[in-house]
Structure 1
């Protein structure tokens, strides 16, 4: 009876009861093999690449099993919440193609029948269960302030005992109702603590989805389950939410491994079936010759926003993540080159127990392959979407010159070995700037700095002038190259590099040097896609204009 009176004293405003709440969250109607997973970030900073990796795995486990993946925002710590974090999380998931079925969407809206999906909107739910715990003698109010807790800690340390609030050190664990009333009459703030029945002398055993069989000491700490402001702690809130939302599997970083005894204990005391836990070692990066964890402070590439800003395609990140998840994925990819990555079924038991190495060079290679396989139209659509958010100048060029831009992106797409010059969308603007006249002219002051050996400015002018006289936009590639060779012969260049190499003293250079002069005249670059294809995309008017510009602008020797 005293427990019931105590609960009403502490929570006079709480009238909900757990049974009524549970009734509003019916069991999901899914196949027995279906998994329900979640991404439950706190909006207290930026999303890390490690967090995205764990989220990717959670999404794959749910959707490959015909289950449900949802987004829950754990925003109970309002003091640490960073404005815009939730929008950043939602945008990042969208950018990287991680589709969730339920949860918080953009503009603060929600979708799904198991919400609210923000913990700050679920406080009345948590308090109903906390009040029930007090009624059942499973929790109690604690009035210790920071000074009192530190005093306890100092004594424990001086005696060499385990620190914390437990057993004989739990000063308010056995307070009577009258003692509680006395403290409340003094206006003292309180927290609610779990009345733990655990003992560090006993062990819990559970099978981790990634690490296998784990044995850990039971929790004997009387942990705080509700703070003085009436908001529950993460430990308690997540247990309530995971049960009500039907979560079956949780993938998280192994920094949460030490919390497993607390979470197992909470689920047992609540009488709920707990989800299966899988703990991931942190993703590592190379620092010189050694590996280390990513640093939020030191490494810009620790933040997911870095990969958005750089413009890595979602398909590239997904492909790369798959190589980190299961080592047999790369062999599967070789055997199934045309399949979507999502056709591969990941297995948590085959995940690495140690932290996988995030190899940026390998990501670049995969990303180049991904972009090379896209059609010009696919590249254009993704590039426009990226540029709209991250490169206003490029965005305007793309929407103002759609067909021209698609033509540029399509150069080399029909080859047996397609071009692989782009690893990310941010590579594109500097690589194609010369196709646009304003930028080409702005860069053209260095025309002659890269002329081939033994090719003077005057000779370069003469080569361009001669070619311009025979240029015909209707020529096919063979006829076009024949004319380039004709110009080469006219000015004493060998018809090919092999001939020049045999008799270098008889020639000024070879036909490739002549082509280089034309390339410089048209692009002011020494490295471009195929020269003929480039000219075809530029079109007759632009080609003639640039050749004339070269002739007029290059000073006489």
Structure 2
């Protein structure tokens, strides 16, 4: 038995399985050539951010477009910062925004799907200790008994000497401890961490090709980083290497704040003898703040949280569609050429992703969302609005549930492929958009009825009275519009818009103004969906009652 093996047994006597035995539990995945295995691995320290959702979608798309696997791993090793309920919220956000997960935690009580778990790092402690013990036996790791005061004293001496701070080389005071010295410290009850014995040098450079940023060169890691904390919990650096190896991860997409950690991770994978995954570092999502761009702030910006988009009622399909425009710049061109194709038909390319901050433009999201909702059927609009309202607008929910057929008919107005209505961007728009259909919400006298600029209130009332005298609910569209034209002509309005444009001084207005007056009398608005279709949905009694009330 070598001294290093003796030391490994002294520190971890309970570990009696080998790395090979553990690896046998995680056989290579049976996937086709080129299939990617990706993951979303959040820390449960708060709400899902919009940036986290964006990264998760990229990972999901890369896996599924290649016939691979996308899984979720909860990296809950930082117990001090963990927020109760955060893991459940993260998983719920993925579900709500339609990001399909193949493996990982799927419910309360620790329920999981997949054969490569556990999918929470706190449940994988046994696995990490197996490799820690092997690294110690191979003289690639060692126990460190430094206290915070000891580490601060080292930093002070380094600064005084004008040297780089950290725990490395000659400053790593516990690198050469003997088994006897370690045993004495253990007998004293001294707490310890396990550190990597880095073979690197700050004078060397490491090179790798990033999936997004291309060729990167960084200083080699020379720090004896902590692998296992004093409480027995692994650090992120170490745990992710073990987990990505066992779970067969092939591609990792993460924020570019992790770029500086690449030398550590490349070194760990090499020392552990693992094939490393390919890394792609995503540009930070930015937002406009006045005339300048800045990063989202989790503390200051409500729209930094995925929960904000849920509460506002942005359809998950719209958020994903907008994400696609940020992921690859050629997506919008593809969408114009393929308006009815699912977004999954577009293959994203990492080398086409933004290498600098991608601007998250709320106005563009709204425009994209209007286009997406315009492609929905009326039943889908009703269903999604009702689901949203149940959580966020009880009054709207009760009305929708109590008037399902009427509501579906309202949503069906103008929902045609050739010229679809685009008055809804998010479900929180719906109540205000359709309020005039609900007699309890309709109050045109509150702010006065808007009228075309050429029409006085007196003329408007006379126009509506004349229309009522000829109105028949059963009229087809052409007959109905002929009657509107006759009303226009009888009151000095041009029955054709082109007539008015030729000789505007000869008319009081045109037939469009007459239709606008009827629209305003019925809805209190000048902008609504198609007037004829709207009147059919409202029903004869409601139409007559409102027009009578307006005409006086």
TM-score range, shorter chain: over 0.9
Q: In structure 1, how many angstroms separate the alpha carbons of the residues matched to 2:278 and 2:512? A: 64
- TM-superposed CA distance for 1:37, in Å, is 0.5
Tell me which residue corresponds to 1:110: 112
Tell me which residue corresponds to 1:533: 533
Q: Which moved more, 1:96-105 or 1:506-515?
A: 506-515
Q: In structure 1, how many angstroms separate the alpha carbons of the residues matched to 2:365 and 2:504? A: 43
Q: In structure 2, how many angstroms separate the alpha carbons of the residues matched to 1:347 and 1:504? A: 57
Tell me which residue corresponds to 2:196: 194
Q: 1:447–1:521: 8 Å Cα contact kept in structure 2?
A: no
**Deviation per residue, 1:505-526 (Å, 9 max, x gap):** 6655443333333222211222
Picking from 344, 349, 352, the partner of 2:351 is 349
- Normalised by the length of structure 1, the TM-score is 0.93
Tell me which residue corresponds to 1:14: 15
SS at match of 2:208: strand
CA change 1:44–1:447 in 2 (3 A) is closer
Picking from 277, 281, 285, the partner of 1:279 is 281
The within-5 A match list for 1:380-529 is: 380-414=382-416, 416-440=418-442, 443-446=443-446, 448-453=448-453, 455=455, 457=457, 459-496=459-496, 499=499, 508-529=508-529
- TM-superposed CA distance for 1:497, in Å, is 5.0
1:120 aligns with 2:122: yes
- TM-superposed CA distance for 1:192, in Å, is 1.0
- TM-superposed CA distance for 1:90, in Å, is 1.5
Tell me which residue corresponds to 1:555: none
Q: In structure 2, how many angstroms separate the alpha carbons of the residues matched to 1:352 and 1:446? A: 49
- TM-superposed CA distance for 1:324, in Å, is 2.1
Q: 1:446–1:524: 8 Å Cα contact kept in structure 2?
A: no
- TM-superposed CA distance for 1:502, in Å, is 6.3
- TM-superposed CA distance for 1:460, in Å, is 4.1
1:258 aligns with 2:260: yes
Task: State the superposition RMSD in angstroms.
Answer: 2.2
Tell me which residue corresponds to 1:56: 57
Q: Which runs of 5+ in 2 are unaligned?
A: none
Q: In structure 1, how many angstroms separate the alpha carbons of the residues matched to 2:7 and 2:101? A: 42
- TM-superposed CA distance for 1:222, in Å, is 0.5
SS at match of 2:191: coil
SS at match of 1:207: strand
SS at match of 1:216: strand
SS at match of 1:150: helix
Q: In structure 2, how many angstroms separate the alpha carbons of the residues matched to 1:290 and 1:507? A: 51
Tell me which residue corresponds to 1:225: 227
**Deviation per residue, 1:81-114 (Å, 9 max, x gap):** 1122222211211122110110011324210000
CA change 1:337–1:510 in 2 (3 A) is closer
- TM-superposed CA distance for 1:203, in Å, is 1.9
The within-5 A match list for 1:18-57 is: 18-57=19-58
SS at match of 1:80: coil
**Deviation per residue, 1:182-227 (Å, 9 max, x gap):** 3223322211111111111222221111122222222111100111
Tell me which residue corresponds to 1:244: 246
**Deviation per residue, 1:518-546 (Å, 9 max, x gap):** 22221122221121111011111221232
Q: 1:103–1:110: 8 Å Cα contact kept in structure 2?
A: yes
Q: In structure 2, how many angstroms separate the alpha carbons of the residues matched to 1:453 and 1:55? A: 52
- Normalised by the length of structure 2, the TM-score is 0.94
Picking from 375, 378, 400, the partner of 2:377 is 375
1:299 aligns with 2:301: yes
CA change 1:517–1:330 in 2 (3 A) is closer
Q: 2:449–2:524: 8 Å Cα contact kept in structure 1?
A: no
How many residues get paired? 550
- TM-superposed CA distance for 1:54, in Å, is 1.6
- TM-superposed CA distance for 1:26, in Å, is 0.8
- TM-superposed CA distance for 1:551, in Å, is 4.6
CA change 1:210–1:436 in 2 (3 A) is same
Q: 1:225–1:235: 8 Å Cα contact kept in structure 2?
A: yes
Tell me which residue corresponds to 1:152: 154
Q: In structure 1, how many angstroms separate the alpha carbons of the residues matched to 2:478 and 2:131? A: 80
- TM-superposed CA distance for 1:238, in Å, is 0.4
Q: Which moved more, 1:507-516 or 1:56-65?
A: 507-516
Q: 2:449–2:525: 8 Å Cα contact kept in structure 1?
A: no
SS at match of 1:448: coil
Q: 1:489–1:495: 8 Å Cα contact kept in structure 2?
A: yes
CA change 1:352–1:447 in 2 (3 A) is closer
SS at match of 1:413: coil
